[in-house]
Amino acid sequence: MVRIGLALPHYDYSVPGESPVRWDTLVHHAVRAEEVGLDSVWVSDHVVFDLAKYGADGRRYGTFEPVAALGALSRTVARVRLGALVFCEAMRPASVLAKAVATLDRLSGGRIDVGLGAGWYEPDYEAVGMEFPPPGVRLARLAEAVQVCKGMLTARPDAEGFTFEGRYHRAVAARNDPPPVQRPRPPVFVGGKGDRLVRLAARHADGWNASWVWTTEQYGQRLETLRRACDEIGRDPGTVWRSVGLYALCGEDERDLERRFERLHAVTPPGVLDGVTLDEWRAGRLVGTVEQVAEQLSDWDALGVETIILGAGAVPFQVASLDDVELLAAAAARVRVPANEPAAGRRR
């Protein structure tokens, strides 16, 4: 059955009335997510971020760095899994990221999921003094980074270490001691939706994530692309761990749902929801009463999606109100794996 995560608020737009967002606020949301029975919490990876593509102005917002944030969270919440959605390939050498992830996995007792992305936000590259490569180059870099991370995170009893000679990433007899706790390694997945990215996931990654607006019909079409890519290389598509990020809003009944949507509209940066009705907002999102959201989650479960990551706002990593998260957790409890059951179904 499907597992449920929360996209944590860690940008300066993420929580009503807080700019800059406080670390204690992020921690409070992670702790509450664990208390209400969710299975994972997630952060993303940008140096700065703006919401222009979502309809707001081009103001750039600050954020916490994800490796440090996950390390701190690993000592704060004891049960939920911790993940990056997703690390930008260009921000760190893959072998250095793998070393950091192994440490995070040790700190958390084996609860880290590793997401990698090709990078799409040009200001990140500008901020670190890098040229913004064309899509083909970014995907080629990502494919190498995934291979290095998997190789470095896999326990190696031999004395020679891990060696990889790529165009963009290298590792020479590299050892990763102490190794991560998880065996054979923490899952390494990629995030994105294009055909080339899906083929990359099939060939190199443990899993694939797609976020934030998807209908089950659209996702089903992507699964056909994944199936064909797996067939080409002789891989069972069922071995590709699948996660989906979805904006989500739940009400106790239709009137309560309308009230919560009005609140979401009020706390979202201007421009994002201007002129958008609740009926329009439902499309491609988890939106409805408790019963309706539970039914929608069951539909995603039927597609083989292992984890749904809730975006409890109108833009990525926004949380309009914690009581929205609590009600979404109540809906999820009707279909999700009980918290005390082992993750026997996790795909590698």
For residue 160, the model assigns a pLDDT of: 82
Q: Return the closest-CA partner of residue 312 out of 331, 326, 325, 297.
A: 325
Q: Return the closest-CA partner of residue 42 out of 249, 260, 295, 325.
A: 325
The pair of structure tokens assigned to 102 is 């192994």
For residue 1, the model assigns a pLDDT of: 81
For residue 157, the model assigns a pLDDT of: 64
Q: Are 47 and 120 in contact (CB under 8 A)?
A: no
For residue 339, the model assigns a pLDDT of: 46
- Round the CA-based radius of gyration of the chain to a whole number and report it: 19
Exposure string over 123-156, b if 16+ CB within 10 A, otherwise e: ebbeeeeeeebeeeebbbbbbbbbbbbbbbbbeb
What whole-number distance in Å separates Cα of residue 287 and Cα of residue 279?
9
Query: What domains, with CATH codes, occur in the chain?
Result: 44-55+63-191 (3.20.20.30)
The pair of structure tokens assigned to 59 is 């103001």
**Count of Cβ atoms closer than 10 Å to residue 72 Cβ:** 15
Q: Are 80 and 38 in contact (CB under 8 A)?
A: yes
Q: Return the closest-CA partner of residue 343 out of 102, 117, 104, 5.
A: 5
- What are the C-alpha distances in Å from 130 to residues 124, 127, 171? 8, 8, 21
Exposure string over 283-307, b if 16+ CB within 10 A, otherwise e: ebbbbbbbebbbebbeebbeeebbb
What whole-number distance in Å separates Cα of residue 277 and Cα of residue 256?
15
What whole-number distance in Å separates Cα of residue 199 and Cα of residue 62?
33
User: In sequence order, what are the residues at sequence separation of 6 or more whose Cβ sits closer than 8 angstroms to the Cβ of residue 323?
Assistant: none
Instruction: Walk along the chain (348 residues) in steps of 10 and give the mean pLDDT of each run.
Output: 95 96 98 98 97 96 98 97 97 96 97 97 95 97 98 80 95 92 96 97 98 97 97 97 98 98 97 97 97 97 97 98 97 71 40
